[in-house]
Amino acid sequence: MRITWVNPSFGHYRVPVYRELDVMSGGRLHVVCSASRTDEEPLAALSAALGDRVIAVRGERVLHVGRRTSFANHGTQVPYQRGLLRAILQTDPECLIGEGFFQWTPAALAASLRRRIPLVIAYERTAHTERHAGNLRQLYRRRVSCAVDAIACNGTLSRDYCVSALGFAPERIVIGAMAADTGRMESGTLAAEPPAVRSLPRPRFLFVGELVVRKGAQELIEGWARAVATRRGLGSLLFVGEGPERSRLESMVRTLGLDFVRFAGRVHYGDMPAHYAACDALVMPTLEDNWSLVVPEAMAAGKPVLCSVHNGCWPELVHDGENGWVFDPLDRDATARVLLTASAACEHLQEMGLASQRIAAAYTPRSAAEAIFAACEIAVRHRRGPAR
């Protein structure tokens, strides 16, 4: 099956999924992306695998409408890429995949309608991440979903949203379409301990993400301060990531007098396995995330996870009390309690990390590609209509 995936940008985590999907399609996968929005390393890696079947177009223009924050739907990006429709049609696809309902999906939709090509939407949002969506955005999604043949969702929360809010037929939804590039994360134990970690007492809690409001770093610090007030030997907290909130967060830490909270700044993707290996548990306090990829990365590295209920991946990946805990970061007392619980369970964190590895093993690039390919097969059958 010739499949064309229209995706303006992708990261390292998508490359293994694309490779697996290419094998399943008989070496006939095309990826149409933006050369300006996709980082050089993943673009080069995918080009090495697919060759000239990676079509990286240039000259995109983006109009920003509404206020811009780190939360979804507070503003709207309207991209325009000259020649995009032509680039899609030149791949002569038997099935199209659009990434979500916005961005470049309107071009994929136009190609689908023009040549009656089955269309799959790779969808990751949940009711929580869509809570700021206005009526027009919701109406647009519902109208477009009528022209969609199948949806490949990350997990159950995304599927539930597509059924309840979009009215999409559940039998044409496949879940399991997301996977992190977990293979390399298991090698971290072979690396030297990063300098930023060496002086930190155990248990070491790790935050990985952009330092923006929606990631919940402030709420984590406030919860940490409450937990430290109860138990002085709580452990340590390391922030890996950069962003506009960093200076304010560092000021908070100084004002609260928190001794063992550190900021490592941006860490190269290739150095992340060593950071996972050097810490004891991941904390993901996000206020809004579709499927936070650092969660399966940490799990593949053998770490338990303290996960926000506002993260779309928790029903599948974080089993409360088995390989981590689920909490609401907007409740500072709940955040403190989960940190105290995890700290008190220090002797069991390694065992919980092994449970994480077992759970993460079911969410591989191959399994994600299988789910996406299954969605493509559903789309083709739906477009053909009932057998006569």
Tens-place pLDDT, residues 194-209: 988 988 999 999 999 9
In the 8-state DSSP scheme, what is residue 312? T
Confidence at residue 270, expressed as pLDDT on a 0 to 100 scale: 87
Confidence at residue 188, expressed as pLDDT on a 0 to 100 scale: 60
Examine domains 3-179+364-384 and 183-360 and report if their fold is the same. Answer: yes
H helix count then E strand count, the chain: 14, 15
Rounded to the nearest angstrom, the gap between the alpha carbon of residue 322 and the centroid of all alpha carbons in its chain is 22
Confidence at residue 323, expressed as pLDDT on a 0 to 100 scale: 98
Confidence at residue 187, expressed as pLDDT on a 0 to 100 scale: 62
- Judge whether 63 and 77 are in contact, CB under 8 Å: yes
Going by C-alpha positions, the residue among 70, 112, 121, 72 that lies closest to residue 94 is: 112
Going by C-alpha positions, the residue among 244, 239, 243 that lies closest to residue 221 is: 239
Q: What is the token pair recorded at 302?
A: 């053998």
- Judge whether 2 and 28 are in contact, CB under 8 Å: yes
Confidence at residue 388, expressed as pLDDT on a 0 to 100 scale: 46
Task: Quote the CATH superfamily of domain 183-360.
Answer: Glycogen Phosphorylase B; (3.40.50.2000)
Q: Which helix (H) or strand (E) holds 283?
A: strand 281-284
Architecture of the domain whose range is 3-179+364-384: 3-Layer(aba) Sandwich (3.40)
Residue ranges in the chain whose pLDDT is less than 50: 388
Confidence at residue 381, expressed as pLDDT on a 0 to 100 scale: 97
- Judge whether 22 and 2 are in contact, CB under 8 Å: no
Asked whether the whole model's pTM tops 0.85, one would answer yes
Confidence at residue 189, expressed as pLDDT on a 0 to 100 scale: 61
Q: Provide the residue ranges of all domains of the chain, joining segments of one domain with +.
A: 3-179+364-384, 183-360
DSSP string spanning 157-170?
HHHHHHHHTT---G
Which runs of consecutive H residues, i.e. helices, occur in the chain?
14-24, 40-50, 84-90, 105-115, 135-145, 156-164, 217-230, 246-256, 272-278, 294-300, 314-317, 332-344, 349-360, 365-384
pLDDT digits (tens, 9 = 90+) for 88-138: 999 999 999 999 999 999 999 999 999 999 999 999 999 998 887 878 888
Give bridge partners of residue 240 from the DSSP assignment: 208, 265
